[in-house]
Each structure stands twice: as structure tokens, then as C-alpha cells.
Amino acid sequence: MSATGKGSVTVTLEGSNKSTSLPLLAGSIGPDVFDIRKLYNELGVFTYDPGYGGTAACESKITYIDGDAGVLLYRGYPIEQLAEQSDFVEVCYLLLNGELPSKAELAEFERGVTLHTMLHEQIRSFFNGFRRDAHPMAILCGVVGALSAFYHDSLDINDPEQRRIAAFRLIAKVPTIAAWAYKYSIGQPFVYPRNDLKYADNFLYMLQAVPSEEYKVNPILSRAMDRILVLHADHEQNASTSTVRLAGSTGANPFACIAAGIAALWGPSHGGANEAVLKMLDEIGSKENIPAFIEKVKDKHSGVKLMGFGHRVYKNFDPRAKIMQATCHEVLGELGIKDSPLLDMAMEMERIALSDDYFVSRKLYPNVDFYSGIILKAMGIPTSMFTVLFAVARTVGWVSQWKEMIEDPGQRIGRPRQIYTGAATRDYKAVDAR
């Protein structure tokens, strides 16, 4: 189903005789939108929306968020049901193809993913070019971009089969690159993927196994990892996904587009937030220091934010945060961590913030990153890997959104406009005359 017409609105430019009628479009759920495409041609004006908070940049059938109601749907299915009853590979199929797979379709898809988990052996040498202390996001960004130099048979974006193979390659190879980026940073040998393991198990294995010891996957930790992957798999037109779409709108190859998405995800306002939550908790040190820290956060001049709180879209609660909080308790229980100062601090922080008018009046609630950092730390994943893990999960979302865009006949190159406030036309002066 495409967006349907639902009437129109007349826009009149005050002080001129110009007016035009803009179509009002309705999606399947969510707010209606005005189609402003002819606004400039008819009235000679642009719209102004820094941060794009009120602008729909595309039509999409993949993910729906109702930020006020705390709803997140992948292809119509509530995130709570998927996190509880599905698993990451099935969610990948769903996001990419639009429907849940049959048993046979799922088996074939899973096989397609596992067949592509290895990297071209020459890619190994890329890693040696990085300093040992390189951030794994820097390595991930560089090596994913470099995939376009290796897999020439999946670069033709106009060929559906090549798009399909590129999707498999990205979903399958990004965990291997991510795990190797980590192994490289700690000086351990790279662990090659094992295709007899499920996706999350294989990722944990590549991250944590060493050749000198047998590695057993803990089912609770594997379930927690799978859940983290499911919860982060897609989130409609966020900064990194919009970056992938913008890069893809130029016709750039899928590996280059996903590398662009990884770069955008790296920032602390986006994917870097769970790493920032742990740093923040570390700096605060203990529960007694929380009230003073909260005061600092409320002081506009301090420039300090409560990391893991607030969201551009969720203004009630982040449904993923609730699932994360429950998973957090499961993982700490399994690992026998009864007294976790970090979790205690996080809970206290949540309690204070949720009763403080500064946060309540601004509708600032814990987001998914508030708890995911604590889970990952308890699982032995180092903080520098948190955003990398987010990128592993989000790759399928980026690929699905990229594929949808390429397959949309109405797709055009992304090209926002601006209000120019710089100098008006002036004449160049030679340096001696300035």
C-alpha cells in the first residue's frame, strides 16, 4: 500500500496574491503529512526544519514508531513480541522481506547468512594497518567501506540479485569484522566464524573464544545478545539510517553506504550513548554523588547531559528500555552478580530523574542505551565495543532501508536546501587592497 490522498490544504503567502493547494497524504498509521514538493515552484519558498524533526523524507513500510505511546513495530509486529518470541535472524528476514518466513524460507535464509560469514583472506591484512589502540568503530568503518574493493560482483545496485547478495554479505560479515577489530585491539588471534553456531552464538564465540581453550556458549548470555540485536535492528529514519539513505540516493554502492551509516552511528548523541552511559556512571563513582551530578545536568551552562536519557522521538517511554531492564536483571542473575554497584547507581539515577520536574516536564525517560551498557559490561564486552555491537545489529536495518529506497520508483537524490545567512554578493579584493 502506498500513501493515500486525504484532501488538501491551501497555503497562502501573506502579502502576495500567491497561494497553492498542497495534498494531504495518509499512511497506514501515524500522522498525516503535507506533500510540499511543489511549494517552491508555486510559491518560491522552502520549508525550514533543522534536524528534520517535522519532515518525512521518504515513504517506508519497514518500521513504525509512536513516540508518545511508546510503540515500536517492525513490519507491523510489536517489538515486545519479537524480542520475546522471535530471534535475530528471523527478524532480519522480516525486515528485509516484509513478512515472517515459513520454516523452509527461514532455513534457506539462515543458510544464506552463514555461507557469507567469512571474509576474503586478504582483508586480514587491512587490520594490521591500524594502530593497536585504534577505536574498533574506526576499524569497522574502514573495513566495511573496503568491502566494496573485494566484492565487485555485488556492487551493481540496479541488479536485484546483486542487491540480495550484498545484503547477505553485510549481515554475515559485519560481525566477523567487528569481532576481529576487537581481537586486534587486545592482541589475540582472530577467531574464524563457525557456521554450526546460531548468529548471536557465533558472534559471542568470535569475540570471546581463544584457540587454547574450549568455548561454550552460555544460553542466557546468547539469548541476551540476540535480544540486544533484535532491539537495535531498525529504528526508522534516525540519523545513521538517513545517512545511509542519503549516501545511497546518489547511487553509491551498498558497502560504502553502510560505512557512512557506521560513521553517523559513532556519535555520542546516537550509537555512542551506551558507551557514554558507562563513562558517566564511572565518573559519578557512587550513589551519594548522584544528586550533585543531577544538579549539574540541570544547569544549562554545565553542558552536561544525562546520558541514556531522552530521545528525539520517544516522549513517554522507550519500549526497548523496558525489555533491556528485564534482560539486565536476567543477565546479572545468571552471572551471579547480586550486588552490582553499576546497576544500583543506574536504578537510583532512574528513580531520581523520573521524580524530578526537570526531566518529567521535558519528557526525558531512560532510552535503550541506559541498560544495554550495563548488560554488555556484565557479559565481559569492553565499552569500546558497545557502539560496534549496535552497528552489527543495525546493519540489517540499514540494508533493508537502503534496499527499499533503491526499489522505490519515486526515489531521487537527497538534496536539502538552506536559508542562506552569509554575505550577499560582493567583489573580490586583491590581498594588498584588503
**Binding stretches for ligand ACO (CB under 6 A):** 269-271, 273, 297, 305-312, 362, 364, 367-369
Q: Which of 87, 311, 344, 356 is catalytic?
A: 311
N-terminal to C-terminal alpha carbon distance within the chain: 61
CB of 369 to ligand ACO, least distance (A): 5
Minimum gap (Å) between residue 183 Cβ and ligand ACO: 26
- Whether 369 sits among the annotated catalytic residues: the reply is yes
Residue of 201, 226, 318, 369 marked active site: 369
Tell me the sheet residues that pair with 64.
73
Cβ contacts of 186 within 8 Å, gap of 6 or more: none
Q: Which lies closer to ligand ACO via its Cβ, residue 82 or residue 307?
A: 307
Q: How far is the CB of 350 from ligand ACO (least distance, A)?
A: 13
Q: Which is nearer to ligand ACO, 151 or 371 (CB)?
A: 371
Least Cβ distance, residue 355 to ligand ACO (angstroms) = 15
What is the Cα–Cα distance from 94 to 98, expressed in whole angstroms? 5
Integer angstrom CA distances of residue 86 from 99, 201, 297, 324:
13, 15, 38, 16
CB nearer to ligand ACO: give 256 or 277.
Answer: 277
Rounded least distance, CB 193 to ligand ACO, Å: 27
Q: Which residue is nearest to ligand ACO (CB)?
A: 310
Using the minimum distance from each CB to ligand ACO, give the nearer residue, 279 or 287: 279
Q: State which residue, 391 or 406, has the beta carbon closest to ligand ACO.
A: 391
Active site residues: 311, 369
